[in-house]
Amino acid sequence: MGIIETLTRNLLYHVSQRVKEFKTLGKNGSVIFDFNPFIDLRIYSTLKLELAFCISVANSKALNGLLFQNSIMEWDLENREIVRKTLENSRIRFYNRKTEYIIKSIQKFNLINNILDKNTYTVREWLVENVKGLGYKEASHFLRNIGRDDVAIIDRHVLRYLHKNNYIDKIPGNLSRKTYLEIEKILEDIADENDLNLAELDLYIWYYETGKILK
């Protein structure tokens, strides 16, 4: 029995619940994420808060990103000093730079919201081109967290899993668009082999590498 198949037997309920929360956020515009039993934390989120979270957590620890999200209200996302202080207090790396990214992304959120009804790949390209702080990983993260299940979040945990299990020869230092899409195709094949979508597969891989199902 393969790694992913074993994980699906043990974690199906928790993964299904998280994916359901993602879908609810995308459909209704808000949700409460429940991270029990992995960590004792429930977080209220909206589309704006989720975008800020995905910007904040890039190159930072997931738990620090969750702390940031749990410590700020949606209406505070337009207040530069509150955003900066909350990022700093949450031990987010590059908090000054990310403050500007978050403020500017919220200022253009109406544009972002209007593009979300298009197909996933069109939306991702637009986000990467038009929202500072969002590369392919961060844009994919945001889209997955609001219910899209056809993009991969290729972070260090996923790359480590792929390398350890001989899907890739080495962990790339930088992920160009071409490399990102090539690795995303590998993940699509793994997902298909296990009758999963990319959102589900990511959660299983993340659990395998970290012992937690977060977001």
The per-residue b/e assignment along 64-85, b for 16 or more CB within 10 angstroms, e otherwise, is bbbbbbbebeeebbeeeebbbb
CA separation for the pair 147, 142 (Å, rounded): 9
- Catalytic site residue 137? yes
For every residue of 60-95, which 3-state class applies, written as one string?
CCHHHHHHHHHCCCHHHHHCHHHHHHHHHHCCCCCH
Q: Whats the size of the chain, residue-wise? A: 215
Separation CA 136–CA 151 (nearest Å) = 10
Find out whether 146 and 22 touch, Cβ atoms under 8 Å: yes
Distances in Å between the Cα of 21 and the Cα atoms of 1, 24, 31 are: 29, 5, 7
Q: Please say if 118 is a catalytic residue.
A: no
User: Among 48, 98, 149, 155, which one carries the catalytic annotation?
Assistant: 155
Query: Are residues 55 and 134 in contact, defined by beta-carbon separation less than 8 angstroms?
Result: yes
| Interatomic CA distance for residues 210 and 214, integer angstroms | 10
Spot the catalytic one: 48, 98, 137, 215: 137
**3, burial (CB in 10 Å: exposed 0-12, middle 13-18, buried 19+):** middle
Name the residues annotated as catalytic.
137, 155
